[in-house]
């Protein structure tokens, strides 16, 4: 039987190819940027950690765009998300931001040391003071390392809600959904990432995964295993 250009046998073949790809590149796909996230880039400090929100105001120009190698969010997004519109107290806001950044730095240090549970604790405490896409994004790294993929996916979704241009997190959520066999969701994230990256070269690995996953997503949707009716282009 053939539907949407993919037979049952073809779907199984695609699935086997995809699972072989995952097995061969599991470390690369699932752990991608777990440690490279804290490598030094042009916008980051000498220690490789994304600067705190206040420091970044002096380190970056407002017009700079995030590259796919950034660890967290733009300074404009971070500061917009951590300052309450109806605060009524500049000192209180400043204190909250300072505390959140302090806890974030502690969490980043734990990431460097591979202390994932401690990093999760720090990021969770920081989120009580102020919501930043970076905090959700960084915590998702730790949840991936502790094999808590449901929580990792949820944090990715929160980060994307705060920053819809957070390309790295689309990539990460696609990998998480791939691991959880949510091929439709993974394909959608890769599609969105391709759109966000339209002005620059797209990682060939992303193109390869999208090429393999897309027919599977369509096949699953046709066979009623996916409630989302959105069509891929």
Q: List pLDDT tens digits, range 89-113.
A: 455 578 888 999 999 999 999 999 9
Predicted confidence at residue 11, as pLDDT, reads: 61
Q: pLDDT tens, 8-42?
A: 566 667 667 666 665 555 555 555 444 444 322 23
Identify whether 130 is part of a domain: yes
For residue 201, being part of any structural domain is answered with no
Q: Rounded distance, CA 203 to CA 205, Å?
A: 5
Structure tokens at 112: 């460097």
Alpha carbons 94 and 20: distance in angstroms, whole number? 50
Domains: count for the chain: 1
What is the pLDDT confidence band of residue 152, given thresholds at 50, 70 and 90?
very high
Would 50 be classed as within a structural domain? yes
What is the per-residue pLDDT for 67? 35
- Structural domain boundaries, residue 140: 45-58+66-81+89-154
CATH code (residue 137) = 1.25.40.10
Is there a domain that residue 177 lies in? Answer: no
Q: For residue 174, is it within any domain? A: no
> Percent of the chain beyond pLDDT 90?
30
pLDDT at 115 over 90: yes
| Token couple for 183 | 């091929």
With respect to residue 25, please indicate whether it lies within any of the assigned structural domains: no
pLDDT of residue 197: 82
Closest to 188 measured CA to CA, from 196, 205, 199, 27: 196
Flag whether 109 is in a domain: yes
232 exposed, middle or buried (CB, 10 Å; 0-12, 13-18, 19+)?
Answer: middle
Quote the percentage of the chain above a pLDDT of 70.
Answer: 50
60-88 pLDDT, tens digit per residue, is 333 333 333 333 433 333 433 333 333 34
Has residue 114 been placed in a domain? yes
Indicate the pTM of the whole model.
0.63
C-alpha to C-alpha distance for 49 and 34, rounded to whole angstroms:
12
């Amino acid at each position: 039987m053939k539907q949407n250009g993919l037979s049952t046998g073809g779907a199984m073949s695609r699935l086997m190819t995809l699972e072989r790809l995952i097995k061969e590149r599991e470390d690369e796909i699932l752990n991608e940027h777990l440690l490279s996230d804290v490598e030094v880039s042009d916008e980051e400090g000498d220690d490789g950690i994304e600067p705190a929100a206040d420091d970044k105001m002096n380190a970056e120009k407002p017009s700079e765009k995030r590259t796919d190698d950034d660890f967290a969010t733009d300074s404009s997004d971070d500061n917009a998300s951590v300052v309450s519109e109806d605060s009524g107290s500049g000192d209180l806001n400043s204190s909250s931001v300072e505390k959140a950044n302090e806890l974030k730095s502690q969490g980043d240090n734990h990431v460097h040391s591979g202390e994932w549970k401690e990093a999760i604790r720090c990021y969770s405490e920081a989120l009580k003071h102020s919501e930043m896409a970076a905090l959700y994004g960084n915590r998702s790294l730790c949840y991936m390392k502790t094999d808590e993929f449901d929580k990792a996916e949820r944090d990715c979704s929160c980060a994307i809600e705060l920053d819809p241009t957070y390309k790295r997190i689309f990539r990460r959520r696609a990998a998480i959904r791939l691991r959880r066999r949510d091929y439709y969701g993974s394909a959608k994230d890769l599609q969105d990432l391709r759109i966000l990256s339209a002005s620059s070269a797209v990682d060939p690995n992303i193109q390869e995964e999208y090429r393999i996953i897309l027919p599977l997503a369509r096949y699953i949707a046709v066979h009623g295993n996916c409630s989302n009716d959105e069509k891929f282009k």
